[in-house]
Structure 1
């Protein structure tokens, strides 16, 4: 739908009812997946700004993205996207998720194309909401397609929020911070938590690694 009606190269769609409970439900290609994963892993980027502001976030030239999102740096450009456009999926007051569009050439969307993108996102939002509600009535459906690694991150986040007595969003932030500081992937850090090799104490800034007994 988005690719046939808008001047973009690829797209990804993710839903998240709360920061820590996020699932990618579709992507057109590997580049779209890489863009989605890069932002999920570091916890910053246009997708998060779109959810926070409930407004489209346009990045017509990803080479300048590091000025707005320092940690994300040049990852957007390195992934092969010259322009990125993120639209929040909204149903009334409910934030459902985001649609992430990219193009291999830099440049903005025209006003008419942006308005059309917003309209398409609105239709997708309602359709997705109906699917979520149907899933609740009839049992698991599309959520079974969630990647194993992402489910592990959710599980680890749940463990951390209990260990550190913090919110789900803060627990995910702690996991990201630990992974970044120790040059790990988010998935590896999550598996360490699940395997009881990494535990978080009741203090938000205190982390212990039971594998070597060191405080970090």
Structure 2
């Protein structure tokens, strides 16, 4: 997995590589990776030509082996779609597309995202017990890559929020200094004046300070970004 992550340009490419390899090394004829965020499932990568259609059918009826695996965290094995009675019209839809067996494995991602790795085969009983155990390792690898990407995204969001907060703090400090100089008042009095102005005008304190500094300087303020620690 580490080799694949370093050799691909994105998590999307990594997952595509993973499903291609999973299909090539198993009895599957197709595979798709489903992720769900904000209650909306989406097939992010697929191979074999039918995975997207089968996934979309399940999304449309809000039921199916893929969604069951995603929601319960348990593997869902369909030995033969012609003998399957669960999930309404989905089994017959799959059979009409030539799919006779499927295996949906939950992808262990994290609290923000749910996922499933879905394998499809044109032959009934295509997934032996050994196949199911081997393919579970691909689900674990997919989960590791997605969780890593999610943590990186969360870290970037936190860093961005922190940077914005520090920039806002600098604007407020500059505005307080300007008010103190103009009114010959204390820092506390200057801040209280700016805060009251923010409340009375229903404008964020940062924006009140930015407008004040713009009016004083004749141009928008360009607060220095926070200093980065040296490596």
Bigger fraction of residues in helix: 2
Bigger fraction of residues in strand: 1
Tell me what 1:49 maps to: 68
TM-score scaled by structure 1?
Answer: 0.57
Q: Do structure 1's residue 76 and structure 2's residue 75 form an aligned pair?
A: no
Unaligned runs of 5+ in 2: 1-20, 158-231
Tell me what 1:111 maps to: 129
2:89 & 2:38 partners in 1: Cα distance? 22
TM-score scaled by structure 2?
Answer: 0.54
Unaligned runs of 5+ in 1: 140-216
Larger radius of gyration: 2
SS for the counterpart of 1:30 is coil
Bigger RCO (CA 8 Å, 6+ sep): 1
Tell me what 1:5 maps to: 25
Tell me what 1:88 maps to: 106
Match for residue 133 of structure 1 among 141, 147, 151: 151
Q: Do structure 1's residue 23 and structure 2's residue 42 form an aligned pair?
A: yes
1:10 & 1:123 partners in 2: Cα distance? 18
Instruction: Please give the per-residue CA displacement for 1:21-60, whole angstroms capped at 9, x wherever unaligned.
Output: 2221101133111111110111111012212321110011
**Maintained 8 Å contact 1:11/1:102:** yes
- Could you list the runs of 4 or more consecutive aligned residues of structure 1 that deviate by over 6 angstroms after TM superposition? none
**Maintained 8 Å contact 2:108/2:115:** yes
- What is the aligned-residue RMSD (CA, Å)? 2.2
1:16 & 1:126 partners in 2: Cα distance? 16
Equivalenced residues, count: 137
